[in-house]
Amino acid sequence: MSLKPSSSARSIDPYRMMDGRPTFSHVATSTGPSRIIITAGQVGADENGIVPATPSDQIALAFENLSRCLEAAGAGVADILKLTYYIVNYDPKNRHHAPHLIKFLNGHRPATTLVPVTALANPEYLFEIEATAAVAQAPTQTVDVVVVGAGLSGLQTAYDLQKAGFSCVVVEARDRVGGKTWSVEPIASGKVIDLGAAWVNDTNQTRVHALAKKLGLATVVQNTKGNVIQHDLDDSKSTFVYGTVPLLAEINGTENMVYVRDLVEETCQQLDLYKITPAGKDLDKLTLEEFVKAQEKGESAFATVTIWTRVMLGLEPSEMSALFFLDYCNRGGGFLQMRSDKRHGGQYMRLVQGTQSLSKGLTELLAPGTVILNSPVRLIRQDGSGGAYVSSGRGDFKCRKVVVSVPTPLYKEITFVPALSEAKTTLSSSTVLGYTSKAMLMYDTPWWRTANLCGMVQSFKGPVAATRDTSNDDKKQYSLTCFLVGDWGREQSKKTKAERHQGIISHIRELFSPFVEVPEPITIIEHEWAKDQWAQGCPCPATPPGIMSQYGHAMTTVHGNVHFVGTETAVKWKGYMEGAIESGERGAEEVIKSLTKAKL
C-alpha cells in the first residue's frame, strides 16, 4: 500500500548538455494543476537565531530548515523544481555543501543555481538555500465528510462514517498515517520500536484491544520481572521490587511519597467524568505543584510527582492545574491504574508490530484513496450556505461536515473562516503540549535482566527521568526506552544530537553499572515530538489553572459544520490510544446523527 502522492515535478536533461548528476538537472517542469511553494532563503540558524559553530553543522541546519518549510506546505524533496544556494567564501575545490546536498536530495535532481557571495544577511551566515516547489493539485472533490488528521481518532471517525455509508476523506499533513503512533525498524525488519504511543491493555481499554484483535495484532506483556532502580536525590542508586516502593534517602521520604500518592489516588477518584464538581473547581485554582507542596511532604515526594507529570505528560507540576492532572488520572481509572505496568494498568502490554499497525490497519479498512498524505489543511471555510470548504496541500474539498482531529494547540495552524469561538480559541492558545522524547537504546541482549533488573528506572537527578524495558524477545528486539521529558528534556533538546545521546548513554551507565556491566547500545533512536510541526509536543495537551473549569466544556462544541475529536477530548483514557478511538467514535456518531437528521 503506497499512499504517497506522486510528484508533479519533472526534471529534464536536454540533449548534449553538461552532466548535472548527481545533484541537478538543467530543466524542471511541473505538470498539471499544481500549488507553487516558495521558501525564503534558509540559513543555518535555529528558531532563536543561534548559528551552529561549524560550517558543516550550519549547512546541515539550513537543509533541516528547508525541509521544515517544505513539509509545512505539504511538499517533499521530490517536489522541488528549483534550488538556489548562496555560499560565502566559496571554494570550488572544497565543496562543503555537497555531501549535505546529496543526502538531502536523495536522488532528486532539481534545476539548481549556485551563487558565490561575499556575505549574507547576517555576518555569521555562510550558507543560504531557497527552493521553489510544485505540488500537484487534485481537482476539487465533493464528499460528505473531510476528516483532518490521520491519527487514530481521525481514522476511527472515517471508518465509522464509511461503515454508515457516508463518503469521507482523511487529509493528513504528514507523509504517513498514525499521528503519534509511529513504529519504526531502525536496525532490522521485525525489530519494531514505537517512537510515540506504545502501551495498551486488554481489560479496561476495550476499544483499542478490540481493534488490535480485529486486525490480528500480536501483543507482548510489559516486563515487570525483577527490580526497579531508584536514582535518589543524594545521587545514590538503589533497587526495589517492581510494585513495591523505594527506600528513599530523605527522612520519611518513602512515607511522604506514599502519602502524596494515596492522596492523589483518593482525590482523583472523587472527581466526576461528566461534570466538574465544586471540589474540582477549587482544584482548578491551583497548579499541581501548589497542590502537592501544600501537603508539606518534602523533596522526595515532590520529585516523585515531578517524574509522574514528566513521564505522563512531558510537563512540570507547575504547568498544569491540579484539576487537570487529577482528572487526567481519573479518566484512566485512577492514578494507580494509569501508572501501572501490570494487568489493567496503562502500560500492561505493547504491540509486536508497533502501535502504528493499529493506524495502518484501520487505513486498510477504509475505501481506497480515503487517506491523502502530505496534505496539510490550512483553511476551513464555511460561507453559511451549508457545508464547508477545506483547502489542503494536495487539493480542496467541498463537504457537508468536517471533523478536526488535531490537538487543540494546532488549531492555530488552520485558518477557520468564520473564526473559532472565543472559548475554543482560548483553549487552543492556553493548552500546553509537553516535551516528551523517548530515546530508545537498542542492544543485542537484555543485559539488565541478568542482574534481576526489570529495566525500569526512576531518577530524581536526570537527564533521563525513567526507563522501561521495551524489548520483544520473540523478535530478539532488546531495548531500553529512556524518557527525556519536561524541563530535563527541554534542556537536553538544546544540545546537539550527539551530545544529547552521549548524555543519555552516560546516565544509563551511571544508573545500571552499580548492579551490572553495561554494554554500548547498537544504536540510539529518538523523535523530538516537541520539534515536530504536526505534533508540537506530546502526548496530550494540558491546561494551566483556570482553563479547564472555564473553557473545558468548549473542547467538543461544534463550530458550525466542524466537529472536533482527538484523545484529549475523550471521556476515558484521555491522552491514550483508547481515548483517541473513543473520541473518533464519538465524532462519527455526532456527524452521522446530524447528517441523518438533515436527510429527514
Instruction: Give residues 78-117 in contact with a copy of itself (rule: CB under 8 A).
Output: 81-82, 84, 86, 90, 92, 110-117
Q: How many residues bind a copy of itself (CB under 8 A)?
A: 73
Query: What is the footprint of a copy of itself within residues 53-82 (CB under 8 A)?
Result: 65, 68-73, 81-82
| Continuous H helices in 73-220 | 97-105, 152-163, 206-214
Cell of 277: 464538581
Nearest to a copy of itself of 417, 571 (CB atom): 417
Nearest to a copy of itself of 72, 221 (CB atom): 72
* 483 marked among binding-site residues: yes
Task: Note whether 233 and 239 are within 8 A (CB).
Answer: no
CB of 582 to a copy of itself, least distance (A): 28
Distance CA 123, CA 265 (A): 57
Candidates 39, 256, 340, 431: give the one binding a copy of itself (CB under 8 A): 39
Nearest to a copy of itself of 59, 456 (CB atom): 59
Candidates 3, 7, 35, 361: give the one binding a copy of itself (CB under 8 A): 35
Query: What is the footprint of a copy of itself within residues 542-561 (CB under 8 A)?
Result: none
CB of 385 to a copy of itself, least distance (A): 15
Ramachandran angles phi, psi of 508, nearest 5°: -60, -40
37 binds a copy of itself per the rule CB under 8 A: yes
* 513 marked among binding-site residues: no
Distance CA 103, CA 361 (A): 32
Task: Note whether 517 and 466 are within 8 A (CB).
Answer: no
Nearest to a copy of itself of 59, 303 (CB atom): 59
Task: Note whether 465 and 310 are within 8 A (CB).
Answer: yes
Candidates 26, 225, 381, 490: give the one binding a copy of itself (CB under 8 A): 26
Query: What is the footprint of a copy of itself within residues 377-406 (CB under 8 A)?
Result: 378-379, 391, 396
Nearest to a copy of itself of 93, 597 (CB atom): 93
Cell of 173: 499533513
Distance CA 229, CA 199 (A): 21
Nearest to a copy of itself of 182, 460 (CB atom): 182
51 binds a copy of itself per the rule CB under 8 A: no
CB of 570 to a copy of itself, least distance (A): 25
CB of 67 to a copy of itself, least distance (A): 10
Binding mask 180-209 for a copy of itself (x = CB under 8 A): ------------------------------
Type of residue numbered 580: A
Cell of 203: 481489560
Nearest to a copy of itself of 29, 502 (CB atom): 29
Candidates 3, 5, 25, 101: give the one binding a copy of itself (CB under 8 A): 25
Distance CA 206, CA 12 (A): 54
* 173 marked among binding-site residues: yes
Binding mask 126-155 for a copy of itself (x = CB under 8 A): --x-x-x-x--x------------------
Query: What is the footprint of a copy of itself within residues 500-539 (CB under 8 A)?
Result: 531, 533, 536
Distance CA 258, CA 409 (A): 34
Distance CA 402, CA 389 (A): 9
Q: Which of 531, 579, 530 is nearest to 555 (CA)?
A: 579
* 510 marked among binding-site residues: no
Query: What is the footprint of a copy of itself within residues 398-457 (CB under 8 A)?
Result: 413
CB of 159 to a copy of itself, least distance (A): 29
Q: Which of 357, 359, 268, 276 is nearest to 305 (CA)?
A: 268
- Sign for the CA dihedral angle at 54, 60, 61, 63 comes to positive
Scanning 7-15, 263-271, 285-293, 475-483 for contacts with a copy of itself by CB under 8 A, the matching segment is 7-15
CB of 313 to a copy of itself, least distance (A): 19
Scanning 26-34, 256-264, 342-350, 559-567 for contacts with a copy of itself by CB under 8 A, the matching segment is 26-34
* 172 marked among binding-site residues: yes
Cα angle 256, 262, 268 (rounded to 5 degrees) comes to: 135
Task: Note whether 373 and 230 are within 8 A (CB).
Answer: no
Query: Cβ atoms within 10 A of the Cβ of 310, count?
Result: 25
* 11 marked among binding-site residues: no
Nearest to a copy of itself of 527, 574 (CB atom): 527
Q: Residue 9: enclosing H or E segment and its boundaries?
A: strand 9-12
Distance CA 465, CA 461 (A): 8
Task: Note whether 389 and 134 are within 8 A (CB).
Answer: no
Nearest to a copy of itself of 18, 600 (CB atom): 18
Query: Cβ atoms within 10 A of the Cβ of 262, count?
Result: 12
Distance CA 491, CA 484 (A): 9
Candidates 18, 53, 498, 600: give the one binding a copy of itself (CB under 8 A): 18
Type of residue numbered 349: M
Task: Note whether 7 and 79 are within 8 A (CB).
Answer: yes
CB of 116 to a copy of itself, least distance (A): 4
Type of residue numbered 427: L
Nearest to a copy of itself of 280, 376 (CB atom): 376
3-state secondary structure of 63: helix
Ramachandran angles phi, psi of 189, nearest 5°: -60, 135
Distance CA 444, CA 188 (A): 12
Nearest to a copy of itself of 125, 291 (CB atom): 125
Nearest to a copy of itself of 69, 366 (CB atom): 69
| Residue positions forming the annotated binding site | 153, 172-173, 377, 483, 568
| Residue positions forming the annotated binding site for substrate | 483
| Residue positions forming the annotated binding site for FAD | 153, 172-173, 377, 568
